[in-house]
Amino acid sequence: MARNEPSQQPSSSGSNGTSSSTSNGSAKPSKITVKIVNASFTKPCDCYVEIMSDAPSAAPKKTAVKKKTSAPEWNESVNVHANNESTLTFRVFQKAKLFEDTCQGMAKVKLTSVPRNDNGEFKTDVMNVNLLGKDSSKVGTINLIFTGYAERKRRSAGGQRTVDAAAAAGSEASTSNGVAPPRTASGRRPATAKRDTLTVPAVRINFGV
């Protein structure tokens, strides 16, 4: 029986394969490209790599199947829907003709751990990542290259407006007693009355000789 693939709707993307952004508080379109260079493991098999992101609406991607090899070379690049906090999962499957495909090894990569340049873009260095089996033992390695950059989630516009309004209210001018005067119907403050000044009459003093 062939391996049943999960039925997922593909994420909306542009012509360059990057995903579209949502509204308040979500990340901008991803500009992440992952190149699956090659892998190595103990025994030869017909194998391919499945790439999955934990970002919402992210559809899994797959490489081509490499026949009867323990050192497959793919050199395939895929665009990934992800943001800066995403974790990508790479699973190497053995292709089966009659039965379900079996997972040979798995690796997880947090995008926050991928080296970057000063401008925030991923370094185009090869990352050598261990492939782990069911018992978490090492069964091989996979080489990956990340390019582009991942956007951080933006703050909610509504929350920002609330903060700005509170800051503006706190900066209102006050009178000497610490209470701001009320505004008129036109929105203007009434003129502040001048304080009364106590006038002390001059006293004439006569000095006797």
- DSSP letters, 117-185, are -TTSPBP-PEEEEEEE-TTS-EEEEEEEEEEEE-PPPPPPHHHHHHHHHHHHHHT----TTS-PPPP-T
CA distance readout (Å), 31 to 48, 102, 204: 24, 31, 90
CA 3 to chain centre: 32
Q: How far apart are CA 84 and CA 27, in angstroms?
A: 8
* Residues β-bridged to residue 23: none
Contact residues for 122 (Cβ-Cβ < 8 A; gap 6+): 32, 114, 115, 116, 146, 147, 148, 149
CB 2 within 8 Å of CB 95: no
Instruction: Supply the pLDDT for residue 64.
Output: 98
Helix (H, G, I), strand (E, B) or coil at 35: strand
CA 196 to chain centre: 62
pTM: 0.62
Instruction: Supply the pLDDT for residue 34.
Output: 98
Sketch out the chain's domains with CATH numbers: 31-149 (2.60.40.150)
Residue type, 138: K
Tens digits of pLDDT across the chain (209 residues): 445 444 444 333 343 434 344 444 454 546 699 999 999 998 999 999 999 999 888 899 999 999 999 999 999 999 999 999 999 999 999 999 888 999 999 999 999 999 999 999 999 999 999 999 989 999 999 999 999 988 776 655 555 554 455 555 555 544 445 555 566 566 566 555 555 555 555 555 555 54
